[in-house]
């Protein structure tokens, strides 16, 4: 179980996260919000790449700052911005990441084959990354995030810049990962997560404005016709979350 307890983060005078408290159990969580809402800041704090100004993150009741390498071994992270090595092949990039994660030479071929199959990238594994489409690059990032079968997987906008067909494919890849894990996926595109998320967390200007299952939110925002409609009401009109449908 992952917990954020009263987490805040400021960049100079800008409040990027405002006293956020959340609990994540197993399942797929969709972190939904427009650009600048604080999604990447939250994910960077969850993954231990950024320290909060206030509050803490706990994994199984232990502050992640005390867990060190133990935390890194249960965590898989695909950051929003990542320089992929264009001259590397997909397989070489994964071998490199596997070595950084401490996966042994003996386990490596099997693990690479497993993660490549998970994201349907076996055929492209020996091509240079520079020749990959945006969707293939994203799938490779997801493949490195799931190496070593982490219990906690954090994917920051895995569908950014992809065409609709590629988005569906990524969505299916993420759904296939579920089962006994905590998976957190950020996006500003409702359809990326509506069909796969067990729970939706809506963030705006660094604050959590609502959370729940899609079905639960539909009951709450009575009269709204789907999550897209709720999103439009909550964000586009700058409302306070009260449905005006």
**Of 79 and 241, which has the nearer Cβ to Mg ion?**
79
**Of 39 and 137, which has the nearer Cβ to Mg ion?**
39
**Of 11 and 96, which has the nearer Cβ to ligand ADP?**
11
Q: Which residues bind ligand ADP (CB under 6 A)?
A: 11, 14, 16, 33, 35-41
Nearest distance in Å: CB 14, ligand ADP: 5
- The Cα–Cα gap between 181 and 224 comes to 31
**Of 35 and 104, which has the nearer Cβ to Mg ion?**
35
Binding residue for Mg ion (CB under 5 A) from 17, 29, 40, 214? 40
Token pair listed for 180: 């006994």
Contact segment (CB under 5 A) with Mg ion among 56-64, 75-83, 107-115, 217-225 equals: 75-83
**Of 129 and 203, which has the nearer Cβ to ligand ADP?**
203
Nearest distance in Å: CB 80, Mg ion: 5
Nearest distance in Å: CB 233, Mg ion: 22
Picking from 155, 198, 190, 188, the residue whose alpha carbon sits closest to that of residue 173 is: 155
If one asks whether residue 41 binds Mg ion (CB under 5 A), the answer comes out as no
Q: Where are the alpha helices (DSSP H) in 55-133?
A: 69-74, 90-100, 108-118
Tell me the pairing of strands 62-63 and 14-24. unpaired
- The Cα–Cα gap between 198 and 170 comes to 17
Q: Which does 11 bind (CB under 5 to 8 A by kind): ligand ADP, Mg ion, none?
A: ligand ADP
CB 41 within 8 A of CB 9: yes
Of all helices (H) and strands (E), which one includes residue 9? Answer: strand 2-11
Q: Where are the beta strands (DSSP E) in 188-233?
A: 199-204, 207-212
Nearest distance in Å: CB 90, ligand ADP: 26
φ, ψ for residue 238, nearest 5 deg: 60, 30
Token pair listed for 213: 């299952």
Binding site for Mg ion (CB under 5 A): 39-40, 80
């Amino acid at each position: 179980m992952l917990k954020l307890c009263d987490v805040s983060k400021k960049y100079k005078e800008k409040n990027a996260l405002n006293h956020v408290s959340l609990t994540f159990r197993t399942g797929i969580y969709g972190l939904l919000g427009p650009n600048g809402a604080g999604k990447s800041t939250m994910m960077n704090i969850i993954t231990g790449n950024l320290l909060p100004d206030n509050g803490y993150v706990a994994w199984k009741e232990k502050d992640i700052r005390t867990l060190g390498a133990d935390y890194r071994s249960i965590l898989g992270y695909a950051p929003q911005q990542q320089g992929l090595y264009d001259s590397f092949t997909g397989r070489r990039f994964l071998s490199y990441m596997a070595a950084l994660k401490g996966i042994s030479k003996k386990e490596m071929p099997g693990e690479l084959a497993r993660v490549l199959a998970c994201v349907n990238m076996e055929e492209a594994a020996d091509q240079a990354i520079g020749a990959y489409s945006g969707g293939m690059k994203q799938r490779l990032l997801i493949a490195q995030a799931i190496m070593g079968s982490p219990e906690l997987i954090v994917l920051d906008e895995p569908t950014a810049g992809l065409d609709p067909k590629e988005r569906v494919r990524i969505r299916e890849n993420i759904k296939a990962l579920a089962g006994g894990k905590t998976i957190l996926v950020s996006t500003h595109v409702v359809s990326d997560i509506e069909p796969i998320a067990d729970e939706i967390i809506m963030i705006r200007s660094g604050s959590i404005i609502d959370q729940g299952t899609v079905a639960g939110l539909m009951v709450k925002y009575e009269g709204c016709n789907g999550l897209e409609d709720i999103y439009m009401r909550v964000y586009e009109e700058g409302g306070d979350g009260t449905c005006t449908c």
